[in-house]
């Protein structure tokens, strides 16, 4: 059953492995009020026929072991307990899980790439992925989502004592895809977790990254970049739960929106519990609205139950392209379209530099350029 | 000061306004809410039929709406135990001496008649329990056509203004507590400032609850006509009792073209009052609405003063400061709704939590389609004094227009040992040093207060901070 039954925090809902514990959302719930439920194609109410197909292919670094396991494997569902209806639906419905293990003290020589290819948006698919990084190991993992799919999954990142995991998750879906996903990272003592989320494609993408700590000195760095076009709904809901002293979290998500009914939602929740003294946390979200008709919702929430914090803050800003920036460039002979592209590129550049895998970095830069050329 | 002889309450002795006066009217007042109670209030006041209808509608909606599931825990309110209407004196007094000795005594202790004598304020309203017992406005303002009345008298004398504006900013069904207020409202201030009149000195109201389990439901309506300015100041206190009282006011403000209104509240209810208030202003073209909101007392406060920016270049500003000590939850914030182009809003919120208290900032900035060229900035800072206190930030931003700029920033910090050490090495003791740091922290807001309130705030901080260290 749920780990957290008492309502300590309004940010932290209940969690459970049991579908019955989560009624079908109506859209009035705090956690669902931004999501257009009618576009989830039945992922939220159990009506989605499980006839879809998402092919999972892993190209591991040589040091890494990859297994495909059944539902009863003890490593599945150990770090993360589903916290909403779609998550628990995925958890109770998937058939095969992929487990990637980075053995103790191993330093991987190349990124481990997980390709997820959707084959059709008819019928749903449920998935589960576990990445275990054993103590003192270091690894880079790339999740690359492409194609058409109605896909719900849970991903668990278990980072051991002193280990380091860098993750890039690309949501580069085709225009008709629906993807609802939870990414949970559990950080042991002195573990480092850096994630980079890039959401570009799909009709509706709702990704909920969360972080929990089991030992002191855990360090989580969550970055994200999204580009919402006409009609797209891109939602990122972050939850960092500081329950252990002396841990750190840093969140930086930036998005751009263009076109009618382009909708981006960013929720950044941070809880600092009574025990979590010495916590250092900061969250930042920025939205650049490029055209009329786009909408950005940005809600950073902070619950602090102890006064002994090293630092806690958040900032959120939404606005349009600054005319002065483009004017400055135009005054130097750069045409408006080019100037606009440069400004947007500058807006994302600092973030994109953080991507550790060069090919991915180039691909993201190219994707941003392509979006701007539309 | 005779608070009460209950030894278990002695720990609350910090509160200066905690005395209770003899309470004949309150003791006989009826508890609980029913249609009959509502009809009685209306009949006692000889109200027009439409007001009774509005009250009954409020009662129906109150029954239908659930308690809010967010914010503070309100399950402790026993609606059947509350006294919804207490008449403390038969008629309103024109001079302080006409008031019953107990009531006059109360206001003397609060220093209100003295402030009036010294002409620090342009008009005074004093509400005791359900009704306004004293009311006065300076003659020169009256000559200029400024109306400053208690709301009951206002309804009698200016029914046309009431029909037009009452409930127009906050509808009967706005929220559960606005419905309740609509059903049983009594007292409050009614202000009308005619076009191009500048009321230089603040108008002031003082709200006092004396009876245990009292429900005070004042209703304030302020209309500032084109090009005018008014500053309204309210203060609130109550005795310390062992069971809870409820204060649920509704404040509606209309700021017309190019007018400016400033509304200052120093809420210092005792720690057994639930303070659940709905305050909203509409600001038309070029108008400015400023809320200055100090929350120091009460057990639970849920209050989010709002400005609806209806016309071009309208401006909304909220400065809010909250203190939460032991057993207190200050869930306060602000709401800015941009409905017209080139509107701007600023929210600055400062909160201090100590002794296990909890402060929450809860805000909304909404920029509707068409409000192009609007700008909003929100800044919240929280200061935590110890390990057991709690601070939350729940900002909410909804932007539906591209040509806007929107910023939100929050910081939460604790008083550092370095700061304390620095001041103590200069000869301050720990309490004084702590109080000085806190005063510095809230200074940007304190300086916006009228002088006597700024002094009062400083004094309250000192009281709040006493024994905060160690």
From first to last of its 374 residues, chain A has per-residue pLDDT tens of 333 333 456 666 788 999 999 999 999 888 899 999 999 999 999 899 999 899 999 999 999 999 999 999 999 999 999 999 999 999 999 999 999 999 999 999 999 999 999 999 989 999 999 999 999 999 999 999 999 999 999 999 999 999 999 999 999 999 999 999 999 999 999 999 999 999 999 999 999 999 999 999 999 999 999 999 999 999 999 999 999 999 999 999 999 999 999 999 999 999 999 999 999 999 999 999 888 888 888 888 888 888 788 888 889 888 888 788 888 899 999 998 889 888 998 899 889 998 988 889 999 999 988 888 87
Q: Please give, rounded to a whole number of angstroms, the shortest distance from the CA of B236 to a CA of chain A.
A: 29
Tell which wins on pLDDT, A68 or B200.
A68
Express each pLDDT in B340-373 by its tens digit: 999 999 999 999 988 889 999 999 999 998 898 8
Same domain, B290 and B422: no
Tell which wins on pLDDT, A106 or B97.
A106
Same domain, A35 and A85: yes
Residue among B97, B182, B87 at smallest CA distance from B128: B87
Sign, Cα dihedral of B140, B144, B148, B152: positive
Cβ(A371)–Cβ(A259) under 8 Å?
no
Nearest to A317 among B403, B407, B414 (CB): B407
Q: Which of B303, B338, B370 is the last residue of a domain?
A: B303
Q: Quick check: A304 contacting B, CB < 8 Å?
A: yes
What is the arithmetic mean of pLDDT over B263-283?
A: 92
State residue B239's pLDDT score: 78
Cβ(A117)–Cβ(A143) under 8 Å?
no
**B66 DSSP 8-state letter:** P
How do beta strands A219-228 and A248-257 pair? parallel
Nearest to B412 among A295, A298, A312 (CB): A312
Cβ(A163)–Cβ(A193) under 8 Å?
no
Cβ(B341)–Cβ(B371) under 8 Å?
yes
The answer to whether the Cβ–Cβ distance between A319 and B405 falls below 8 Å is yes
Q: How confident is the model at residue B255 (pLDDT cuts 50, 70, 90)?
A: very high
> How many whole angstroms separate alpha carbon A44 and alpha carbon A277?
37
State residue B439's pLDDT score: 86
Nearest to B410 among A295, A309, A314 (CB): A314
Nearest to B397 among A277, A297, A308 (CB): A297
The answer to whether the Cβ–Cβ distance between B395 and A301 falls below 8 Å is yes
> How many whole angstroms separate alpha carbon B4 and alpha carbon A81?
52
**3-class SS of residue B413:** strand
Q: Please give, rounded to a whole number of angstroms, the shortest distance from the CA of A151 to a CA of chain B.
A: 28
Q: Quick check: B163 contacting A, CB < 8 Å?
A: no
Instruction: State the angle between helix axes of B451-465 and B430-446 in degrees (0 to 180), rounded to the nearest 10.
Output: 150
Chain A residue nearest residue B414, CA to CA: A307
**3-class SS of residue A360:** helix
Same domain, A231 and A103: yes
Residue among A294, A284, A286 at smallest CA distance from A344: A286
From chain B, pick out residues whose CB is under 8 angstroms from the CB of A308: 387, 414
Cβ(A99)–Cβ(A56) under 8 Å?
no
The answer to whether the Cβ–Cβ distance between B404 and A305 falls below 8 Å is no
Asked, for residue B120, whether it belongs to a domain, the answer is yes
Total domains, chain B: 2
> How many whole angstroms separate alpha carbon B321 and alpha carbon B347?
11
Give the rounded percent of residues in chain B with a pLDDT score beyond 90. 48
Q: Quick check: A316 contacting B, CB < 8 Å?
A: yes
**Tokens representing A141?**
């993992």
> How many whole angstroms separate alpha carbon B175 and alpha carbon A227?
37
Same domain, A123 and A234: yes
Cβ(A344)–Cβ(A372) under 8 Å?
yes
Chain B residue nearest residue A256, CA to CA: B402
State residue B135's pLDDT score: 81
The answer to whether the Cβ–Cβ distance between A307 and B385 falls below 8 Å is yes
> Which H or E run contains B451?
helix B451-465
Q: Please give, rounded to a whole number of angstroms, the shortest distance from the CA of B348 to a CA of chain A.
A: 14
State residue B312's pLDDT score: 96
Total domains, chain A: 2
End-to-end, the C-alpha distance of chain B in Å comes to: 28
Q: Which residues partner with A192 through β-bridges?
A: A164, A219
Q: Quick check: B33 contacting A, CB < 8 Å?
A: no
Same domain, A247 and A346: no
Chain A residue nearest residue B385, CA to CA: A307
From chain B, pick out residues whose CB is under 8 angstroms from the CB of A300: 393, 395, 408, 410
What is the arithmetic mean of pLDDT over B268-276?
A: 90
> How many whole angstroms separate alpha carbon B470 and alpha carbon B468?
7
Q: Does the pLDDT of residue B13 top 50, yes or no? A: no
Asked, for residue B153, whether it belongs to a domain, the answer is yes
Q: Select the highest-mean-pLDDT range: A211-225, B17-31, B209-223.
A: A211-225
The answer to whether the Cβ–Cβ distance between B388 and A300 falls below 8 Å is no
Same domain, A315 and A326: no
Asked, for residue B312, whether it belongs to a domain, the answer is no
Q: Please give, rounded to a whole number of angstroms, the shortest distance from the CA of A96 to a CA of chain B.
A: 39
Please calculate the CA angle A366-A368-A371 and round it to the nearest 5 degrees. 110
Q: Which of B245, B268, B303 is the last residue of a domain?
A: B303
Q: Please give, rounded to a whole number of angstroms, the shortest distance from the CA of A30 to a CA of chain B.
A: 10
**3-class SS of residue B222:** strand
Same domain, A247 and A191: yes
Nearest to A302 among B392, B397, B398 (CB): B392
- Candidates A266, A300, A302, partner chain B, best to mutate (most B CBs within 10 A): A302
- State the residue for tokens 């209810």: B269
From chain B, pick out residues whose CB is under 8 angstroms from the CB of A311: 413
| In chain B, residues 61-80 whose CB comes closer than 8 Å to chain A | 70
Q: Quick check: B397 contacting A, CB < 8 Å?
A: yes
ipTM: 0.71
**Tokens representing B370?**
């068409």
From chain A, pick out residues whose CB is under 8 angstroms from the CB of B390: 303-306
Q: How confident is the model at residue B3 (pLDDT cuts 50, 70, 90)?
A: very low
Residue among A349, A354, A217, A361 at smallest CA distance from A280: A217
**3-class SS of residue B248:** coil
Q: Please give, rounded to a whole number of angstroms, the shortest distance from the CA of A263 to a CA of chain B.
A: 10
Residue A366 to residues A201, A326, A371: CA-CA distances in angstroms?
14, 21, 9
The answer to whether the Cβ–Cβ distance between A313 and B391 falls below 8 Å is no
- Which DSSP string do the residues of B260-310 spell out, in sequence order? EEEEEEEE---TTEEEEEEEEEEE-TT-EEEEEEEE---SEEEE--EEEE-
- Candidates B74, B392, B415, B469, partner chain A, best to mutate (most A CBs within 10 A): B392
Q: How many residues does chain B have?
A: 470
Q: Which of A320, A341, A365 is the last residue of a domain?
A: A320
> How many whole angstroms separate alpha carbon A279 and alpha carbon A270?
11
Q: Quick check: B434 contacting A, CB < 8 Å?
A: no
From chain B, pick out residues whose CB is under 8 angstroms from the CB of A274: 387-388
- Candidates A263, A284, A318, partner chain B, best to mutate (most B CBs within 10 A): A318
Q: Which of B257, B278, B303 is the last residue of a domain?
A: B303
Sign, Cα dihedral of B287, B292, B298, B300: positive
Chain A residue nearest residue B353, CA to CA: A307
> How many whole angstroms separate alpha carbon B457 and alpha carbon B195?
33
Residue among A182, A11, A214, A190 at smallest CA distance from A81: A182
Residue among A144, A139, A136 at smallest CA distance from A110: A139
Express each pLDDT in B289-331 by its tens digit: 999 999 988 999 999 999 999 999 999 999 999 999 889 999 9
Q: Which domain holds residue A346?
A: 322-374
Same domain, A90 and A213: yes
Cβ(B322)–Cβ(B358) under 8 Å?
no
Nearest to A295 among B353, B385, B400 (CB): B400
The answer to whether the Cβ–Cβ distance between B402 and A301 falls below 8 Å is no
From chain B, pick out residues whose CB is under 8 angstroms from the CB of A276: none
The answer to whether the Cβ–Cβ distance between A306 and B387 falls below 8 Å is yes
- Candidates B378, B410, B420, partner chain A, best to mutate (most A CBs within 10 A): B410
**Tokens representing A71?**
């539902």
**3-class SS of residue A271:** strand
> How many whole angstroms separate alpha carbon B32 and alpha carbon A196?
58
The answer to whether the Cβ–Cβ distance between B398 and A308 falls below 8 Å is no
Contacts of B414 (CB under 8 A, 6+ apart): A307, A308, A309, B383, B384, B385
> How many whole angstroms separate alpha carbon A17 and alpha carbon A82?
6
> How many whole angstroms separate alpha carbon B259 and alpha carbon B314?
10
Same domain, B263 and B114: yes
Q: Which of A297, A320, A343 is the last residue of a domain?
A: A320
Q: Quick check: B407 contacting A, CB < 8 Å?
A: yes
Q: How confident is the model at residue B212 (pLDDT cuts 50, 70, 90)?
A: confident
Phi, psi of B8 (to 5 degrees): -70, -10
Interface A–B counts its CB contacts (< 8 A) at 106
Contacts of A54 (CB under 8 A, 6+ apart): A116, A117, A118, A119, A125, A127, A147, A149, A151
Residue among A10, A130, A143 at smallest CA distance from A70: A130
Same domain, B273 and B422: no
State residue B6's pLDDT score: 44
Q: Which domain holds residue B196?
A: 31-303
**3-class SS of residue B78:** coil
Residue among A238, A313, A252, A305 at smallest CA distance from A280: A313
Asked, for residue B464, whether it belongs to a domain, the answer is yes
State residue B254's pLDDT score: 97
Q: Quick check: A289 contacting B, CB < 8 Å?
A: yes
Same domain, A188 and A254: yes
Same domain, A355 and A258: no
The answer to whether the Cβ–Cβ distance between A319 and B413 falls below 8 Å is no
Q: Select the highest-mean-pLDDT range: B106-120, B225-239, B282-296, B428-442.
A: B282-296
Q: Please give, rounded to a whole number of angstroms, the shortest distance from the CA of A180 to a CA of chain B.
A: 23
Q: Which residues partner with B27 through β-bridges?
A: none
The torsion region of residue A160 among left (phi > 0), alpha (psi -120 to 50) and beta comes to: beta
Q: Please give, rounded to a whole number of angstroms, the shortest distance from the CA of A39 to a CA of chain B.
A: 21
> How many whole angstroms separate alpha carbon A94 and alpha carbon A81?
15
Same domain, B296 and B444: no
Q: Does the pLDDT of residue B19 top 90, yes or no? A: no
Q: Quick check: A8 contacting B, CB < 8 Å?
A: no
Same domain, A172 and A226: yes
Q: How confident is the model at residue B10 (pLDDT cuts 50, 70, 90)?
A: very low
Cβ(A248)–Cβ(A279) under 8 Å?
yes
Same domain, A7 and A119: yes
From chain B, pick out residues whose CB is under 8 angstroms from the CB of A320: 402-405
The answer to whether the Cβ–Cβ distance between A306 and B402 falls below 8 Å is no
Q: Quick check: A29 contacting B, CB < 8 Å?
A: no
**Tokens representing B425?**
């090495």
From chain B, pick out residues whose CB is under 8 angstroms from the CB of A307: 353, 384-389, 414
Contacts of B175 (CB under 8 A, 6+ apart): B65, B68, B278
Residue among A189, A300, A294, A285 at smallest CA distance from A239: A300
> How many whole angstroms separate alpha carbon A97 and alpha carbon A58?
12
- Candidates A260, A270, A304, partner chain B, best to mutate (most B CBs within 10 A): A304
- State the residue for tokens 């950073």: A300
Same domain, B285 and B427: no
**B95 DSSP 8-state letter:** S
- State the residue for tokens 């500058």: A346
Q: Which residues partner with A47 through β-bridges?
A: none
Residue A230 to residues A342, A344, B444: CA-CA distances in angstroms?
21, 18, 43
Same domain, A250 and A105: yes
Residue B62 to residues B34, B175, B183, B185: CA-CA distances in angstroms?
11, 8, 8, 13
């Amino acid at each position: 059953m749920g780990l957290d039954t008492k309502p300590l925090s309004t940010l932290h809902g209940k969690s459970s492995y049991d579908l019955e514990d989560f009624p079908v959302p109506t859209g009035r719930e705090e956690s669902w009020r931004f999501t257009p439920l009618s576009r989830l194609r039945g992922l939220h109410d159990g009506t989605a026929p499980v006839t879809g197909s998402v092919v999972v292919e892993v190209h591991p670094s040589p040091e890494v072991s990859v297994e495909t396991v059944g539902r009863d494997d003890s490593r599945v569902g150990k770090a993360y307990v589903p916290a909403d209806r779609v998550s628990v639906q995925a958890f109770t419905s998937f058939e095969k899980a992929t487990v990637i293990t980075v053995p103790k003290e191993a330093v991987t020589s190349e990124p481990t790439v997980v390709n997820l290819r959707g084959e059709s948006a008819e019928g749903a698919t449920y998935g589960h992925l576990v990445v275990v990084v054993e103590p003192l190991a270091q690894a880079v993992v790339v999740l690359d989502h492409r194609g058409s799919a109605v896909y719900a999954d849970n991903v668990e990142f278990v980072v051991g004592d002193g280990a380091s995991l860098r993750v890039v998750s690309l949501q580069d879906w085709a225009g008709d895809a629906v993807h609802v996903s939870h990414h949970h990272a559990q950080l042991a003592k002195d573990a480092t977790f850096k994630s980079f989320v890039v959401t570009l494609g799909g009709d509706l993408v709702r990704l909920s990254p969360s972080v929990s700590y089991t030992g002191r000195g855990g360090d989580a760095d969550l970055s994200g970049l999204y580009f919402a076009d006409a009609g797209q709904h891109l939602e990122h809901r972050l939850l960092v739960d500081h329950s252990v002293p002396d841990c750190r979290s840093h969140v930086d998500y930036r998005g751009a929106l263009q076109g009618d009914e382009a909708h981006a939602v960013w929720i950044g929740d941070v809880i600092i519990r009574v025990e979590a003294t010495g916590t250092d946390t900061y969250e930042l979200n920025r939205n650049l609205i490029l055209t009329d008709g786009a909408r950005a919702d940005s809600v950073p929430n902070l619950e602090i139950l102890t006064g002994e914090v090293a630092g806690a803050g958040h900032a959120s800003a939404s606005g349009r392209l600054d005319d002065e920036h483009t004017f400055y460039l135009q005054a130097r002979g750069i045409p408006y379209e080019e100037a606009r592209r440069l400004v947007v590129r500058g807006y994302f550049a600092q973030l994109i530099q953080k991507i550790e895998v060069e090919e991915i970095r180039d691909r993201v830069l190219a994707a941003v350029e392509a979006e701007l050329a539309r | 000061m005779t608070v009460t002889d209950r030894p278990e309450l002695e720990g609350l002795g910090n509160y200066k306004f905690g005395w209770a006066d003899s309470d004949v009217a309150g003791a006989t007042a009826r508890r609980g809410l029913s249609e009959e109670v509502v009809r009685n209030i209306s009949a006692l006041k000889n109200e027009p039929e439409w007001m009774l209808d509005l009250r009954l509608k409020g009662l129906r909606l109150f029954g239908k709406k659930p308690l809010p599931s967010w914010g503070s825990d309100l399950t402790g309110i026993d609606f059947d135990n509350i006294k919804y209407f207490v008449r403390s004196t038969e008629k309103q007094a024109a001079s302080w001496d006409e008031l019953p000795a107990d009531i006059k005594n109360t206001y003397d202790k609060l220093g209100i008649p003295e402030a009036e004598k010294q002409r620090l304020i342009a008009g005074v309203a004093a509400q005791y329990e359900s009704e306004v017992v004293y009311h006065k406005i300076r003659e020169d303002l009256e000559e200029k056509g400024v109306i400053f009345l208690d709301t009951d008298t206002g309804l009698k004398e200016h029914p046309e203004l009431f029909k037009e504006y009452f409930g127009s900013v906050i509808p009967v069904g706005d929220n559960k507590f606005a419905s309740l207020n609509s059903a049983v409202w009594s007292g409050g201030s009614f202000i009308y400032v005619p076009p191009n009149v500048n009321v230089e000195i603040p108008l002031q109201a003082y709200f006092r609850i004396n009876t245990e389990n009292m429900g005070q439901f004042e209703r304030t309506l302020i209309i500032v006509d084109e090009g005018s300015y008014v500053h309204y100041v309210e203060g609130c206190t109550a005795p310390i009792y062992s069971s809870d009282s409820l204060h649920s006011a509704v404040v509606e403000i209309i700021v017309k073209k190019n007018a400016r209104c400033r509304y200052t509240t120093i809420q210092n209810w005792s720690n057994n009052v639930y303070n659940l208030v709905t305050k909203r202003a509409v600001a038309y073209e070029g108008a400015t609405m400023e809320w200055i909101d100090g929350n120091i007392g009460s057990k639970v406060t849920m209050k989010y003063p709002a400005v609806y920016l209806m016309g071009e270049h309208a401006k909304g500003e909220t400065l809010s400061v909250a203190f939460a000590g032991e057993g207190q939850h200050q869930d306060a914030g602000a709401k800015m709704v941009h409905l017209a182009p080139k509107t701007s809003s600023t929210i600055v919120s400062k909160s201090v939590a100590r002794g296990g208290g909890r402060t929450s900032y809860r805000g909304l900035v909404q920029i509707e389609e068409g409000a192009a060229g609007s700008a909003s900035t929100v800044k919240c800072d929280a200061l935590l004094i110890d390990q057991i206190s709690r601070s939350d930030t729940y900002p909410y931003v909804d932007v539906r227009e591209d040509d806007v700029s929107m910023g939100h920033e929050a910081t939460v910090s604790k008083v550092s040992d370095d700061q304390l050490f620095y001041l103590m090495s200069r000869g301050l003791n720990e309490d004084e040093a702590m109080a000085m740091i806190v005063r510095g922290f809230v200074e940007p807001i304190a300086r916006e207060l009228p002088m006597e309130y700024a002094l009062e705030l400083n004094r309250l901080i000192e009281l709040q901070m006493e024994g905060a260290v160690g």
